[in-house]
Amino acid sequence: MTRFPDGYRIGHWTDPVGRTGCTVLLPPAGTIAAVDVRGGAPGTRETGVFTPGNLVSEIHGLVFAGGSAFGLAASNGVASWLRRRGVGFSIGPARVPIVAAAILFDLAVGNPEAYPDDAAGEAACDAARGGEIETGAVGAGTGATVGKLLGVARASRGGVGAAAVTLVGGERVAALAVVNAFGDVVDPDSGRRLAGPRGDDSFDSARALRQEQLQESPLAGANTTLVCVASDVGFDQGSLKRVAIEAHDGLARAVRPAPTGVGGDGVFALAPGGAPPPLLMRLRVGAAAAEAVARAIVDAVTAG
């Protein structure tokens, strides 16, 4: 059973017919964020805010959504939901919720006219709870697929996965991943393929790219793995950026190849705002983040 640090609430809105959805993370007050995007085809909102040195570092909501660029509309619903509850960055008489978002392409597997909208974002907020996280083909992972080198028709199911690591002092680092990967998902320890193009269990997408004659895929850019890592260790934004960078190691351990120029892979790192932790603690959290991300990606394709 995977839980995020205390105070986090996670909720899904799922459209099983249109095969799309969104997932919302509502962090506790005082949470700051950093982001590292390495995929060559990202679709995001508010990632520029979380640059060290900028005015705002606190985050009030994070949305992962299907529906490609249309799915960014879900973040508007989340912002409205938070504003009505008095949550946001105070600017004079107004409060402006800082809601970041990232999307994935799922329009080829369900109804191409279906995507999360404002109401979907609000519904995911209403469903958000602490405790055990629902994983598998839910929320933003409803229409996610894995291993698209040979086309979407042969791809395996992706989904939402979660994992957590406890450090020696009891500190916790958790990861939530929405896996819609171009590459194969593998067991990070053995290298055994867990999900990829169907029809040949021995097929290796990374090897095929190097050694086989292949046809161009019309949906080569329709891939993304989205990740949020959260720690209960306090960070400043500059140090937290390193955690987001190091968390990408977990993505590369579990998805091969990754990152690529045909996906929107990105990692958000969240933590309580504060002074930079000691160097050893920073290293511990970064290593735990990479481990949690790899486990969460495996969970996404094996859950349910």
**How far apart, in Å, do the first and last CA atoms of the chain sit?**
13
d(CA 257, CA 254): 9
- Number of domains observed in the structure of the chain: 1
The confidence score (pLDDT) of residue 218 equals 53
Instruction: For residue 88, tell me if it sits in a domain.
Output: yes
Domain enclosing residue 126, as ranges = 9-302
Instruction: For residue 78, tell me if it sits in a domain.
Output: yes
- Three-state DSSP state, 224: strand
Residues of the chain with pLDDT under 50: none
Q: Is the pTM for the entire model greater than 0.75?
A: yes
Tell me the sheet residues that pair with 37. 266
The confidence score (pLDDT) of residue 90 equals 86
What's the pLDDT tens digit per position in 141-151? 999 999 888 88
The confidence score (pLDDT) of residue 94 equals 86
Distances (CA, A) of 85 to 97, 131, 169: 10, 22, 35
Distances (CA, A) of 175 to 111, 113, 227: 29, 30, 7
Instruction: For residue 232, tell me if it sits in a domain.
Output: yes
Query: What's 125's domain CATH number?
Result: 3.60.70.12
Instruction: For residue 4, tell me if it sits in a domain.
Output: no
Residue with tokens 């083909």: 137
d(CA 236, CA 178): 26
The alpha carbon of 139 is separated from its chain's Cα centroid by a whole number of angstroms, namely: 11
The confidence score (pLDDT) of residue 217 equals 63
Both tokens of 280, joined, read 């050893």
Instruction: For residue 1, tell me if it sits in a domain.
Output: no
